[in-house]
Structures are given as structure tokens and as C-alpha cells.
Amino acid sequence: MDGEQVGQQALRLHIPDTERGPGAEPPEVRFISAAGEMRRPELDEPVERIALMRKQMVRVLDDDGAATGPWDPQLTADQLRTGLRDMMLVRAFDARLLQAHRQGKISFYMQCLGEEAIACAHKRALHPADMHFPTYRQQGLLIAGGYPIVQMMNQVLSNEADPLKGRQLPIMYSSKEYGFFTISGNLATQYVQGVGWAMASALSGDTRIASAWIGEGATAESDFHAALLFASTYRAPVILNIVNNQWAISTPEDFARGASATFADRGFGYSIPALRVDGNDYLAVYAATRWAAARARGNLGPTLVEWVTLRRGAHSTSDDPSVYRPAGEASHFPLGDPIANLQRHLVTLGQWDDDRHAALSNELDAEVAAAFAEADAHGSVKSGHTADPRTMFDDVYAELPRHLREQRDQVGR
Amino acid sequence: MDGEQVGQQALRLHIPDTERGPGAEPPEVRFISAAGEMRRPELDEPVERIALMRKQMVRVLDDDGAATGPWDPQLTADQLRTGLRDMMLVRAFDARLLQAHRQGKISFYMQCLGEEAIACAHKRALHPADMHFPTYRQQGLLIAGGYPIVQMMNQVLSNEADPLKGRQLPIMYSSKEYGFFTISGNLATQYVQGVGWAMASALSGDTRIASAWIGEGATAESDFHAALLFASTYRAPVILNIVNNQWAISTPEDFARGASATFADRGFGYSIPALRVDGNDYLAVYAATRWAAARARGNLGPTLVEWVTLRRGAHSTSDDPSVYRPAGEASHFPLGDPIANLQRHLVTLGQWDDDRHAALSNELDAEVAAAFAEADAHGSVKSGHTADPRTMFDDVYAELPRHLREQRDQVGR
Amino acid sequence: MTMIEAIRDAHAVAMERDERVVVFGEDVGYFGGVFRCTQGLQQRFGSHRCFDSPISEAGIVGTAIGMAAYGLRPCVEIQFADYVYPAYDQIVSEAARLRHRSAGDFTAPLTIRMPTGGGIFGGQTHSQSPEALFTHVAGLKTVVVSNPYDAKGLLLAAIEDDDPVIFLEPKRVYNGPFDGHHDRPIVPWSKHPLSEVPEGHYTIPLGEARIHRPGGDLTVLAYGTLVHVAQTAAEETGIDAEIIDLRTLLPLDVDTIVESVVKTGRCLVVHEATLTSGFGAELSATVQERAFHHLEAPIVRVCGWDTPYPHAHEWSYFPGPARVGQAMLEVMGR
Amino acid sequence: MTMIEAIRDAHAVAMERDERVVVFGEDVGYFGGVFRCTQGLQQRFGSHRCFDSPISEAGIVGTAIGMAAYGLRPCVEIQFADYVYPAYDQIVSEAARLRHRSAGDFTAPLTIRMPTGGGIFGGQTHSQSPEALFTHVAGLKTVVVSNPYDAKGLLLAAIEDDDPVIFLEPKRVYNGPFDGHHDRPIVPWSKHPLSEVPEGHYTIPLGEARIHRPGGDLTVLAYGTLVHVAQTAAEETGIDAEIIDLRTLLPLDVDTIVESVVKTGRCLVVHEATLTSGFGAELSATVQERAFHHLEAPIVRVCGWDTPYPHAHEWSYFPGPARVGQAMLEVMGR
Ligand SMILES: Cc1ncc(C[n+]2csc(CCOP(=O)(O)OP(=O)(O)O)c2C)c(N)n1
Ligand SMILES: Cc1ncc(C[n+]2csc(CCOP(=O)(O)OP(=O)(O)O)c2C)c(N)n1
Ligand SMILES: [Mg+2]
Ligand SMILES: [Mg+2]
């Protein structure tokens, strides 16, 4: 084909696959490796060599529940059970709050069903003092970090005890103490802020690193580019996480990925080493996080990680996914379920069994129920038990300026 | 090195090279191939294979002035002489307007000294009906396209005959008829607009393609990402040009490139085939443009091209580069000068000689002088010969709304 | 028809009449938009006329400008007005100025739709009303709709307009004419005369206000949801307010406003956006400049407070009938 | 000192006193900024305290927010105010709201400096005055400086402030107190008393206006370049105007304003930005609300026209002494 010859052909625009809905085929997950197949690059391996692994995936757990290959983080049985517990607690927590939404107690909720391993293992693999810049689907960072779930519930209920005083939409948590940056409703903004935080830590000769989070859909936002570029230019000690859960509300990953093979590919153009990791494999998440963190701590710069998973539930309580999701998508998903995967591994190791699992499940349900009862006792936005409305004028500035004082005086007058 | 072991090392921030100025070494140009060395990929070659050529450069003219290798576009002697004339006219035009600035006739100017081949060959290699979305350093697109230089001068003088009615800073031309989109002062905005124009052309089943331009410094802007992403997702028929002239005002390319090897590398993460091309080699520019255009016209999608060149002059008439530029940078520059390179080639072919060159040079100087005299006769902003100030209210909207009518009535009252 | 249905209908009429009209945005194609304002368009007109976009407001508006410069008439959706800021540069530096800076050589006839306002417990990033950030920008037109009839006619006018139009849709009145009492049962549009929407094509000219309720005591300048709230406040206070639904904020229908204030001698300005530097300031300044000698009392503004829109306290933030009614009494000197 | 030298000096004092202060932006490091406001800082404090950035306003502000949340005090430069829009989302959705949305858990003490205004033949993208786009945003403070003394004291106050501050520097008064007559010889700062800048540290509190010229006939509300233009107009018309240099637009010094208008009974508002929905609207509305019964004439606004800032016609666009003087006479009823 040559330039001169094709000149008069009519152009046409390519629109990525528009077929969706219950009748459509579940989308295929691209490029899945067998567990243990992908080698573990050196921390300072050139980006070209890492990029050659672009169609491979870090996986540790095989279909029989055995851990295999160079990425096995060699966790103790206790660590594995802790991981299982973290994930199950997240799931129980989500379930209880979804129920609260159905009960009309809260205005809004977003679960992370099926994605629990990513935040839980990542949090455990980092230092508690490291700072996360999360999206709305990393409740696991708080829960695995030991943040009191009753506080999270208070926030979701926007009740009298809500640490954020009813200001934020449910699930938009904030906790500096637990290394969890205040969640923004505006997608992607936190990504470049995370890079800035990491730059500040490096400027200060600190040892803490940052970990910034984004959904695959939100990588389309402009701040994604700014984040990668500044991280690349200043070699910021930051982990740049992309959670690819296949969906952005109703839109499959194709729109944000474009023609490229994977989201991890985006790293190459900035010379940021990038991994694709089975996000439903607790061990793979743990190991890849450690690898990226070691790079950051060793002043080797940022790492991009695409965590491949599936958003099993709706986008939020505001949407009805049955319109756009293919039937049976979750059961077709080739990476399984993160809790079942880790459970199988522990059983295989002889460190777990069905009875212990059922007991833990009951224990966590009870813990969640108790926490919810405690939070619920503080009322909710629906019951009118909130912080004093006049507190909305606080924290707009460090000190209340005159015009806000005047406005506050008019509330409830 | 392992994660656990490096945890307590103090972090430090990498700031790209800050040494500049007359005493510093001229920066090295990275990854230069010999002429003819880089192979010419198929139009639909996979992006991985093209990316493997990332440290190579499309070059056709060798040091002796011979054309060599698979990228030789096989231009006729007439075409070559036309190219030489275009470039020399651009250079004479710039020189005259810089002089006008020194004479105090114009408020501002930006030349493209040393970068003439890129716009001139690119314009000639495309169809006149294709639409360019330029920056302020592609005056060659207009001049090689045959736009009347006197009109350009009228714009630069902001005089009575200025087609833009004195509204725009000098050099911010616009001509739909000549396929030249109105220049914006805001960097990078035109890049994504060019993609949108190309999408519209494809949506309409048209055959015209778009060519969008950006400086290497401005690739840091967010719109760069939006442009690449939308071009990738919808396979827009667009050429995405990056003019890497080594400098962004006072800042060397390192800041915008970050850790990556080249700007062309940015294409890979979007699966946009990307070339690095000797921008001072008219033949290489012509050939690479034809390759990219053939891809676009064949519905094969966008192409990214990094044109390597050197900004020989100041950023604009507002800055003094002696503060930040290493001495002798231009003479150290390994890709030579585009006019001298093509001249040598024509001489080697026996199609040109010093006398003809001197004659052409005189002819062009005379042409430019005559045009400037004609433009100058229409006055300038400095002499107060501009469009009626009341025309500033026109074209804010298609029709003059009431409030602007009222405001216009107050001007000159 | 609800306002959502009216907007959908306006899209369909525009796409039917003019094949240069293309519609895209986040979740706009297959799903039909998170508020379903574009539902059915992709099925009916094909995925080249109505399609999903990546989540990039800058990309959506930036490519739409390029398409408009090419000669199409893009009508794009920003999922929530709170998310328009990544596109702000493209809107104010580019769409607004193409025509002027190129002396008419290039133009940007595009429509940018977005849901605005609170009242659905959306918290600070699903509740904003950014109209004043657009009315300050020469070259843009800014429309805010309050009912289905206007929404259809104004959206068709916006799409057909040769200049870029910011089209703001207060989401609280998508499904019913909210009277401001959040604790009362929701009233659907079907009971309201302005929900009667003619079939087919009609337009409402940009730049013309509508007298929502004629009255002689005081003039209320309102738009969007607050038109209905002002109506409630007038009924509850028994004040014979003349409520003007501005509909287009830029260019503003100054004649209708001044005529009313000259008649009533009193003026109240209401909006949901943050008070300081809101569009109400422009309204107050304009009325004062043009009707100073007719004013019997200070012009009062009742607006959202100068804080982010709080989730739990949105009804303390929202300028409801109580605050608006109280201000009416104040302007009346009672 | 010129205003540029005063700004440079403020940076140096701040960096000397507090090692959390870091300075960066486009061409800010080695070169010292295109207006040379950061010249010498990299040499003096090292490239970790003052450095160049890629050309990404979103990245500059986004990373600065992260640094501020970490505990540093970034002071960043946007090369021209016209180029701030790519960072607008980070400023209004993020910097302005961190403290509120996290109930004080995270804060963003950063300063964002940028040159504003016309008068240097910069055309539409080197001349804008976007203050009204920031004053509408709760959580930001907005400062506009008019002279070297204030510039140093206010910049130090801004950097030390615990909230994000938008710091606007009218470039036309960088090198001299421009009286509005572009055709007269340039007067350098050295002849002006406000160019006497103390050495070392001092601050001017944010939120306090300055009476630039006391007077009894009418109140002029001004800031930036227009302070000096108003002074010229007062001299030329012989009107005993009280010229208030607002200095901080948000939070606004309402007391000083109202006190003056109560005294004079007349008010003129001037700014260089586009009139419609400009900050002048807020000033007019505020004065009218708080001093209505003292006003003897309508408040008049003299501002930039509602067009992009034109290159060749900038002196027709700029509200110079003739227009301001004429408006003074109008407000005086002469
Ligand atoms: C700037 C901005 N644009 C649009 C939205 C609306 N929105 C919220 S979530 C979402 C989808 C995000 O998808 P993804 O990034 O894949 O995250 P996921 O929900 O899958 O975790 C969209 C479009 C937003 N919050 N902010
Ligand atoms: C949004 C924006 N930010 C900053 C500027 C100021 N500016 C104008 S040109 C320039 C340097 C651009 O460098 P590059 O993209 O390499 O183009 P070159 O001048 O080398 O051709 C800068 C920073 C601008 N015009 N727009
Ligand atoms: Mg997703
Ligand atoms: Mg450059």
C-alpha cells in the first residue's frame, strides 16, 4: 500500500465495540499468563525489557491453589489468614452498607465487590506511614490498615459522629493518620497530587512513599498524563496504580485504553516500568507492591501497575448495570474471585478449612453488625441526626472570615 | 536489591540538568542514525516492531549530500528546487520581520530559523485541502502553501489590511482556505482539536486528513494526552507532529521528556506508530509525512512523528537567550542546517550551483522587500493605522448582541 | 413530558433534521447517559451519530471544537457540571474565541450540556451551579432551563446557534417542578402546564426571558430550579411577585428585567450557586445601573452560601422557600 | 525597588525563613521566570528549592497541592494568568476544598502567582485578568497587587497563609506605576513612595484594603493597575475621589468600603477585566446592599469590554483615564 494510491478512499471513523447488555458476549480479558510464568525483573531493569513483557501478567496462585514462580512473596500462614480476614471484612462491610442503602438509611453507596485483594494486599505490603491517594473503591486500604469501621459507617451515614461532619458524599473518607488522602469526587485529580506528595517527601529527605490510585476509565483524564510526566521527570517515589476492573460505569475498558494492548503500556512512553498483575491474586498483589515499593524506596523512581480485576457489582447504588452488562460476566471471568482464590490456597497449604472459614465469616458479620449498630445509634442524614448545619461554614478557611460569619448567622435564624 | 533492605534510605528528588548558559556544554542530541540506516516499516506494521526502532532516526541525506536508503522520496529536481525556494523564502521572510521589530514597526515576532524544512516539506507532501493545526513556528506551512506573504505581513503589522483586524498578536495567522487553523496563544489546545477535525472528516466520509502540531515542550500539557487518546480510540486520520527543537523558552527538552528516551516513545502507550525523523533533512520530512499520510488515508489511524531539529534563534523577540544557551550550540548541532543540507544535495546532483543560489537569494530578498513595502504602506499598529477599533466588537458572536452594541457605542464617543 | 424526555426529544429532532448533529460524551452512547437524556439515540441514529467517549472532559470538548470547526454541530454532555473544569480551558480559551481571533474564518457552533444544582444529596461534586464561570466569558452563550417546554425549544435553538452555547440543566427539575419543599411528596411534571411539549421542531430564541408569574409588588429574577421555589415563596407569602425566568443569562434580556423593575420598584435576585461573584451580582449591578431611580428598596440576593455544597446539610444550603419568602418580605419592607 | 524586585525579595525572605517554601514553574528555575520574578533564587537556594517544571499548569498546581498536603509551602508561578485554565480544576475542585471536605484533616497552603492584565501589546492570551473566576470559589483567597511595598508584604502573607492564595500581579505595573497614559514617557517606580520597600520580613494582612487616596466626593473601588489610573483621573477631573485599593478581593474588606461610600454617597467601580460577571458586579451589588440609603447616584462600573483583549486596540479596550474620568463626572452628576 502506498500513500499515493490510497488518497481517494473515503475515511471512516472507528467506534469501539458498542455491543453490550444481557445478550452480548462477556468481553474477553486480554493476555493472561499462567501462574509463575512471568519472570521478576531486576528493580533497575531497563524499561524496554520490562515492556517486552507487556502481554504477560504477574500471577502467583495456580488453578489448584498452589503458589508458584519468582513472584511468590513467601508469606507466612498468619499473613495469609490476615489477608483473608481483611478481604472478608471488606466484603461483609460492603454487604452491610448496601443493605443499609436498601433500608433507606443512606443516600448512596459504592462497593468494591471482587476487587478486595488489590487494596488489602497493597496496604499490608507497604509501610503504615506511606500515603495513599485513593479513588472511591479502595475501602480495603482503610480496613486492612485497621481504621475503625464504625468511623467509616459514621461517614457513610453522615451522622452526628461523622468525622467529616456530613460534608461529603458517603464513602468519600479521609484519614491522614491512616495514610488515606481525602477522596475527591473529581476523577484523577488525586493521581498528580500523589506524585506531588512523593516529590515533597523526596525533597524533604523523608523515607515515606506515596501510592496513587486510579480506575482504568479515569486514566483518560488529563491529570493522568501530568502525573506520569512529573513522576518521570523528577523520578518521584510513587506507585501509580491503575485498577482495571473492565468497566467505567457503562463503558468497557476499550474506550479508555484505545488501540493499545494494555493500560500498563502507558508507562513505556515515560520510561516508567510497568507491570500487569492479576488483581484477584492476593499473593501477586502483595509481591508486585513490594517490588514497586522497593524501587521507590531505592530512589529508582515510579512504577506503574495495572491491576486486572472485575467490578462484579453495579457502578454505585445509582445505576442499574443490567442494561449494559453481559449476562454471566462474573462467572466467565478467568481470574476468579480474590477471596475464593486465597481461601483455596490456604486450604491447599493445610492452613484453613471450611469450618474455620464459616466461623470467620460469622465472626466478621457479627463485628460488622455491631459496628453498624453503634454507628446507627448516632442516627443518619435520613433521620436528621447530623452535625450542626452551622458547621458547614467551618474549614472553608482556617479562620472564619467575616462574610461566612454573617452567612452562618443567617442559618436557622 | 530488595524492598525490605532499602526501606530506610533517605529519599531524594531528581531535578533534570540545571546547568545551562554560555559556559555550559551544548546538550547532546540523542540517538542519531546514519542516513539510510532505518528501515521503512509497512504502513500497518505492529506498533511493537516500530517501537523497537525507537533509538533510530529517519534520515535520507548523508554528509556528502547524497540521498540514500528506503525513505528516499525520489523527488524530481524541480521538486527539490521548489523545496529549497520555500525554505529560503521562509528564512528571508523571518529576517525581514525581525528587522521590522528592530525598527520598532511591530510589537512582537517569532522566527523559525533552522526549522524551515519541517513545515515546508510537510505542507508539500500533503494535499492542499488537508487541515493543519499549527503552533506559532509553522509559518512554512503558509508560505510553502502559497499564501500571500503580504497578508502575513499585514497581520504581523496589525495594519489596516490585517485580515485578522488587529485582534491577534503578530504571527497568530489564520487561513481556512489554505488549511491553516487559527493559532492559539494557549499551548497544546490545537492538538486535540486537530484530532476532532480528523474525526469529523472520517465521520463525514471525507478524504481530507488533519495534521496537528506541537512543540516538544508543550507535549507536557494535558491536551497532549487527550489528543493521543482520542486519536487512538477512534483511529482518527491525523498526523500528530512533535517539533523537538531542543528548547522550550529557557528549558531544555529533558523537563518535558522526563526519563523517556525520545518523544516518539509517547506513541507506544496508545499504540500509535511513531517515527523519529531528522527535521533538518527535507527529504526525510517529505518521506515521513507521506508515510504518515498514507496511513491516515488508508484508515490505518494516527501516526506520531517527532521531528528533531534546533531552535537556532531566541524563543521570541521578548527573550534574551544568551542567559541560558550554551555558546556554539548551533555549530555543534549534528543535523546541520536544513537549507544548507538541501542545497548540498542539489549541488551533488548537478542541479544547483552557487550562482543560482545567490541569484535565488537575491530574488527572494527582493520579493520579501516588495511585499513588506506593500504591507508597510498600510501602516501598522505603531503608526496607528489599524482597523477601526469598533470592529473589536464584531465576531465575538455571529450577531452583535445588545450589550456589545451598547459598548461599541461608547468607544470613541 | 418530563424534562429528560423533552431533552431527548430535542436531540432526536435535531439529529433527524440535520445530519451534521453528532452527540457524544461519557456513557452517552449505549447507555443513554446517566440521567438518560440521550437514551435511544444510538439505537436510532447509529453509533456514528451518538457514541460513548473516554472519561476526558478536555478531550470531549477539545474534539468537539475541532468537529465544529470542520462543519459539524456537536452536542456533547458533561456528566455533571462539577466535572466541566478539565474542559474549562478548551471552552473559555478556544470555543469562545475561535470566531473572534480568526475574524470569522473559523467558528465553533457546539452545545455543551450539563446537569447542575443540588437537591439530590449529591454532595459537593454533584451539586454545583457554575453559570457565573461562563457568563464572564465573552463569546459564550449561557442558558439555564427550568421546564420541559423551554428545555426542548432552547436546546434546539442552542444546537442551531452559530456560537458555542453552555446549556445548563438543573437536575432537581429533571423529573418534576420542585417547589423547594424537599420534605413534601414529589410532584411529577405531568401535572404542570409547561410539561406540554409539542411534537417536532420548534425553537425558543436565545436571549429572551419569560415572565413566569406576572405580578406588581416586586420583581424576582430567577432561573432553573429557583423559578419554582420563588413561585412557592410568592404563594406562601401572598406577595404579588413578578417572577422572571431568565432562561438565557448571556446575552441577557435586559429590557424585560428593567421594564419589570421600573414597574415594581423592588427586586430580589435568587440562585442556587454560591453568592459571592455569582451571576446574581451581575443582575444586581445591572438593575441598579439601569433602574436606580425607580428602586424603593435595596436589591437583595438569596443564594447558596459561600461554602462547598454540603451533603448532609444540603437543605440548609439550598435557598428554599423560607429564605426566599423572608427576603421577599424584607424587600417589601414588611 | 520595582515590583519585580519586591516580589523576588519576598520569595527570598520566605525561603530564608522557612525551608518548607519551594518555588517552581515554567522557566522559573535557571532563567528566573520570563518576568524575572524568581531570578537568583535557584543560585541562592539550590535547585531543590527553586526549579523549572514541564509546561503543564495542571501538573504544577496538582503536584503543588500534593506537596502542600505533605506539609511544604509551595509558591508556584503560572507564566501568564491566561494560561491558568488547564489548572483550573485542580485549583477550584481541589486546593479550594481539601480542608473543608476532609474537615481539616488535609490542607493546601499554597500560593499561585501569575501576571495579569494588558497594556503590553500581548493580545488576547497575554492580557487577561481572571480574578472573578477565583472570587466565586469558596475556599480560595484572591489578592491583586498594585505596588512594590504591598507586593512584598502581601506575598509574604500569602505564602504564610494556611489557605490557598491566588496572587495576581498586573504586569503593566511591574516596572512602574502606570498612570494610564500609554502615550506618555514611562515613569519608573523609583520616583514613587510605594517603591520604598523595607528590608527583611514584614507582612500585610490579607483582607485589608488600603485607602490609596483619601477624598470626600466619591468612592472609587479599584485594584491593580486601575488604582493608578483612577488617581490620574481624579487629578485630571479635579474630583476629590477617595480611591480604595482593595488589595484582597476575597475575603473582601467590606467595612472600609462601606464606611467610605456612606461618607461620599457615590461609588465608581473600575477594573480591567471584562465587565459582565466581573468582580465589579460583586462590588456594585455589595455596596448597593449595604449602603443603599446613602447612595445619591447609581454605582457605575468602568471595565474592559465584553470582548477578548485585542492586540492592536488594547488602548481602546483598556479603561484609561478618559473613560474613568468621564465616569467620575457622571457619578458626580456633572
Ligand atoms: C472529572 C469527572 N468526570 C466524570 C465523573 C463521573 N464518574 C464517576 S465514576 C466514573 C467512572 C470511572 O470509571 P473507572 O475509572 O474505571 O473507575 P471504577 O468506577 O471502575 O472503579 C465516572 C465517569 C467524575 N466523577 N469526575
Ligand atoms: C498554556 C500555556 N502555558 C504557557 C505558555 C507560555 N509559553 C509560550 S511558548 C512556551 C514554550 C513552548 O516550547 P515548545 O513547545 O518546545 O515550542 P517552541 O517554542 O520550542 O517552538 C511557553 C512556556 C503558553 N503559551 N500557553
Ligand atoms: Mg473501572
Ligand atoms: Mg521546543
Per DSSP, helices labelled H in A166-281 are 189-203, 222-234, 254-257
- Is the model's pLDDT at B115 over the cut of 50? yes
Residue A370: CA count within 13 A, CB half-sphere? 8
Residues D8, D113: Cα–Cα separation, whole Å:
12
* Annotation marks residue D192 as catalytic: no
Residues B48-73 pLDDT 10s: 899 888 889 999 999 999 999 999 99
Residue recorded with cell 449595604: D290
Q: In this complex, which of A158, A256, A410 lies closest to C312 when CB atoms are compared?
A: A158
- SS3 state at C173: helix
- SS3 state at A340: helix
Q: How far is the CA of A216 from the centre of ligand 1 (A)?
A: 9
- Tell which CATH architecture fits domain D210-331: 3-Layer(aba) Sandwich (3.40)
D126 min Cα distance to partner chain C (Å): 12
- Does the domain made of D3-195 have the CATH classification 3.40.1280.10? no
Residues B349, B355: Cα–Cα separation, whole Å:
16
CB contact under 8 A, A389 and C313: yes
Domain boundaries, chain C: 3-195, 210-331
Alpha-carbon distances, residue D99 vs A96, A201, A397, D17, D69 (angstroms):
30, 20, 7, 25, 10
Q: Using alpha carbons only, what angle is made at residue B151 by residues B148 and B156, rounded to the nearest 5 degrees? A: 130
Read out DSSP for A6-58?
A: TTTSPP---------STTSPPPPPP--PPTT-S----TT--HHHHHTTTT--B
Using a CB–CB cutoff of 8 Å, tell me whether C210 touches chain D: no
What is the distance, to the nearest Å, from the Cα of residue B118 to the centroid of all Cα atoms in its chain? 6
CB contact under 8 A, B210 and C66: yes
Q: Which residue of D has its CA nearest to B321?
A: D31
Interval B319-338 mean pLDDT: 93
Residues C163-187 pLDDT 10s: 999 999 999 999 999 999 999 998 9
What separation, in Å, do the N-terminal and C-terminal C-alpha atoms of chain D show?
Answer: 40
Domain boundaries, chain B: 19-379, 387-413
- SS3 state at C275: coil
CB neighbourhood size of D235 (10 A): 14
| For chain D, counts of helices (H) and of strands (E) | 12, 12
Residues D138, C304: Cα–Cα separation, whole Å:
11
| Nearest residue to B179 via CA among C62, C69, C21 | C69
- Is the model's pLDDT at D100 over the cut of 70? yes
Q: In this complex, which of C66, C99, C161 lies closest to B197 when CB atoms are compared?
A: C66
Q: Which atom of ligand 1 is nearest to the CA of A112?
A: 21
CB neighbourhood size of B412 (10 A): 9
Burial (Cβ within 10 Å: 0-12, 13-18, ≥19) of residue A391:
middle
Partners of A287 on chain B (C-beta within 8 Å) are: none
The fraction of chain B above a pLDDT of 90, given in percent, is 91
What residue owns the CA closest to ligand 1's atom 17? A215
| Nearest residue to D159 via CA among D95, D207, D99, D206 | D206
The fraction of chain A above a pLDDT of 90, given in percent, is 92
What separation, in Å, do the N-terminal and C-terminal C-alpha atoms of chain C show?
Answer: 40
Per DSSP, helices labelled H in B103-212 are 116-125, 139-144, 149-157, 189-203
DSSP class of residue C277 equals T
CB contact under 8 A, D312 and B386: yes
What b/e string do you get for D140-168 counting C-beta neighbours within 10 Å, with b at 16 or more? bbbbbbbbbbbbbbbbbbbbbbebbbbbb
Pocket test for ligand 1, best of C55, C80, C85 (most atoms within 8 A of CB): C55
Q: Using alpha carbons only, what angle is made at residue A64 by residues A59 and A67, rounded to the nearest 5 degrees? A: 45
| Nearest residue to C119 via CA among C286, C272, C306, C289 | C272
Residues D57, A71: Cα–Cα separation, whole Å:
39
Residues A86, A343: Cα–Cα separation, whole Å:
12
Locate C329 and state its grid cell.
Answer: 418580605
**Strands of C111-116's sheet in order across:** C50-52, C21-25, C73-77, C111-116, C165-170, C141-144, C248-250
**Which stretch of A323-327, C54-58, D170-174 has the lowest confidence by average pLDDT?**
A323-327
The dihedral through the CA atoms of C304, C306, C308, C313 has a sign that is negative
| Partners of B239 in the β-ladder | B211, B303
Residues C93-152 pLDDT 10s: 999 999 999 999 999 999 999 999 999 999 999 999 999 999 999 999 999 999 999 999
Query: Residue A5: what pLDDT?
Result: 45
Residues C235, A311: Cα–Cα separation, whole Å:
49
Query: Residue A1: what pLDDT?
Result: 33
Q: Which residue of D has its CA nearest to B383?
A: D312
Neighbours of chain B (3+ CB pairs under 8 A): A, C, D
Query: Residue A7: what pLDDT?
Result: 59
What residue owns the CA closest to ligand 2's atom 3? D83
Residues A195, D69: Cα–Cα separation, whole Å:
11
Give the pLDDT band (50/70/90) at residue B7: low
CB contact under 8 A, D59 and A192: yes
Catalytic residue among D11, D126, D228, D271: D126
Neighbours of chain D (3+ CB pairs under 8 A): A, B, C
Interval C221-228 mean pLDDT: 98
Higher-confidence residue of C186 and B270: namely B270
Q: What are phi and psi of C118, to 5 degrees?
A: -105, -155
Query: Residue B28: what pLDDT?
Result: 84
Catalytic residue among C11, C126, C212, C271: C126
Locate D131 and state its grid cell.
Answer: 480574578
Burial (Cβ within 10 Å: 0-12, 13-18, ≥19) of residue D100:
buried
Q: In this complex, which of D89, D289, D300 lies closest to C289 when CB atoms are compared?
A: D300
Locate B405 and state its grid cell.
Answer: 452594541
> Per this entry, what is the length of chain B?
413
Q: How far is the CA of A281 from the centre of ligand 3 (A)?
A: 18
Query: Residue D95: what pLDDT?
Result: 98
Residues B180-237 pLDDT 10s: 999 999 999 999 999 999 999 999 999 999 999 999 999 999 999 999 999 999 999 9
Q: How far is the CA of B74 from the centre of ligand 1 (A)?
A: 51
Locate D13 and state its grid cell.
Answer: 525572605
Residue recorded with cell 487559527: B182
Locate A214 and state its grid cell.
Answer: 486510579
User: Residue C205 is inside which H or E element, if any?
Assistant: none
- SS3 state at C115: strand
CB contact under 8 A, B392 and D27: no
Q: How far is the CA of D22 from the centre of ligand 4 (A)?
A: 26
Query: Residue B1: what pLDDT?
Result: 32
The dihedral through the CA atoms of D36, D37, D38, D43 has a sign that is positive
Interval B97-123 mean pLDDT: 97
Q: How far is the CA of B243 from the centre of ligand 4 (A)?
A: 7
State the ipTM, two decimals. 0.98
Interval D32-41 mean pLDDT: 97
A166 min Cα distance to partner chain D (Å): 9
- SS3 state at B209: coil
Counting as low any pLDDT under 70, the low residues of chain A are 1-7, 413
Q: Which atom of ligand 2 is nearest to the CA of C89?
A: 1
Per DSSP, helices labelled H in B250-353 are 254-257, 282-297, 329-332, 338-348
Q: Using alpha carbons only, what angle is made at residue C48 by residues C46 and C50, rounded to the nearest 5 degrees? A: 70
- SS3 state at A298: coil
- SS3 state at C257: helix
> Per this entry, what is the length of chain D?
334
Query: Residue B5: what pLDDT?
Result: 45
Residues A1, B274: Cα–Cα separation, whole Å:
18
Q: Which residue of A has its CA nearest to B8?
A: A207
- Is the model's pLDDT at B126 over the cut of 70? yes
- SS3 state at D137: coil
Alpha-carbon distances, residue A2 vs A285, B41, B42, D89 (angstroms):
47, 12, 9, 45
B235 min Cα distance to partner chain C (Å): 13
Query: Residue A2: what pLDDT?
Result: 39
B400 min Cα distance to partner chain C (Å): 10
Domains D3-195 and D210-331 equal at CATH topology level: yes
Give the CATH number of domain B19-379. Answer: 3.40.50.970
Q: In this complex, which of C138, C285, C306 lies closest to D138 when CB atoms are compared?
A: C306
Query: Residue D107: what pLDDT?
Result: 98
- SS3 state at B292: helix
Residue recorded with cell 458547621: A391
Interval B111-140 mean pLDDT: 98
| Nearest residue to B378 via CA among B368, B386, B370 | B386
Answer yes or no: are the C-beta atoms of C125 and C97 closer than 8 Å: no
